[in-house]
Structure 1
Amino acid sequence: MSRRLNKEKLAALFSAVSQGLGEFYAAPYRRTFAKARREEDDLFMMLVFSESLGIPNPATYYTLELMPELYGRFHDWHVRMGMEHSPLDGFRCC
């Protein structure tokens, strides 16, 4: 019984060390990863709303059904892109 207990303690110790090392190596790059993710999200938002913004989009049929899901984040996106007010005629978020 004590042997099994030692294996469990050792496994928990290895797990804690592994998590600590993961944090140690990932922490310096967390900001870089967040910036890259934000840039990808901005590009995706522009792709989804491109037809509404007057940019031809060959994938409009597929991106049209994503618009309702992204309307909640639209205000943050257009402000980050430097637009004071919503560029969409039918959608006012400000």
Structure 2
Amino acid sequence: MKLDLKLDNVKAWFRQANFYVEEVYNAPYRSAIARAQREQDDLFMLLIFSEMMGVPNPASYYTLELQPLLMERFHDWHLRMGMEHSPLDNFKCC
């Protein structure tokens, strides 16, 4: 009984020590991670609201040249998912 209690105390101490070590290690990076998250959220909101207001998405123009490269990957993906043909009506790949 005493051995179990001591073992539980040691485990609790190691859990607490691990928590503090992780906090100390991650502390310098928190602001950079939060800033990157805010920038991603801002970009997402900009794209969503611009599309809602009827402004065309500028990313489609810049990614148009990637379409031939993505066709093969899309074809492999829908075959892996068990679909014989493309699930998109306006996007035929096979």
Structure 2-normalised TM-score? 0.56
Per-residue CA distance 1:19-45 (angstroms, 9 max, x = gap): 001101100111101100100100110
SS in 2 for 1:50: helix
The answer for unaligned runs of 5 or more in structure 1 is 58-94
Q: Would you identify which runs of 4 or more consecutive aligned residues in structure 1 move more than 3 Å?
A: none
**1:64 corresponds to which residue?**
none
Query: How many residue pairs were aligned?
Result: 57
Percent identity of equivalent pairs = 46
Q: Distance in 2 between matches of 1:22 and 1:50?
A: 40
Root-mean-square deviation (CA), in Å?
A: 1.3
**2:16 corresponds to which residue?**
16
Matched, 1:56 2:17: no
Q: Distance in 2 between matches of 1:22 and 1:11?
A: 16
- The structure with more helix, counted as a fraction of residues: 2
Higher relative contact order (CA 8 A, sep 6+): 1
Alignment of 1:1-94 (within 5 A): 1-57=1-57
The answer for unaligned runs of 5 or more in structure 2 is 58-94
Structure 1-normalised TM-score? 0.56
